[in-house]
Amino acid sequence: MSLFINTDTMEYPRYEGDIASEPNANWAEVERTTIPEYAVGQAPYELTPILVDNTWTQQWAVRDLTPEEIENSRSLHLEYLQKLRMPQVDIDRLMASELTSEEIAALR
């Protein structure tokens, strides 16, 4: 699916349906880019595209998660692991990040 920007209003993201409903607007296709790598406790988010060599190009940034987002994420993970009927001792170790990636893979 293609992404578009209205270069008059900078409305973004827009899609094929927007172009069909507003054919007289100045639309430009936006070149997609890869989401940047980010660490645990961070999240990528999209910025307004910029012109790079006369091509509107998707832009990204990374931010730290808020304490509330971290707690919500931990709660969702805990709920999921409990639904999988994982032993509580493994859940406790996993939630405390005491397991190595190899040990986590072995739990699957």
- Structure tokens, 21: 């409903």
Residue 100 scores a pLDDT above 60:
no
**Average pLDDT for residues 79-96, to the nearest whole number?**
82
* 12 closest CA partner among 33, 34, 27: 27
Same domain, 7 and 46: yes
pLDDT in tens, 33-73: 999 998 888 899 999 999 999 999 999 999 998 988 888 88
Task: Tell me which residue range forms the domain holding 97.
Answer: 67-106
Query: Which residue is it, tokens 């072995």?
Result: 106
Q: What angle, 0 to 180 degrees and rounded to 10, lies between the N-to-C axes of helices 88-95 and 67-83?
A: 160
Same domain, 60 and 25: yes
The number of folded domains in the chain is 2
d(CA 74, CA 95): 8
Same domain, 55 and 9: yes
Same domain, 73 and 57: no
Same domain, 28 and 14: yes
In this predicted structure, what is the pLDDT of residue 90?
A: 81
Same domain, 82 and 99: yes
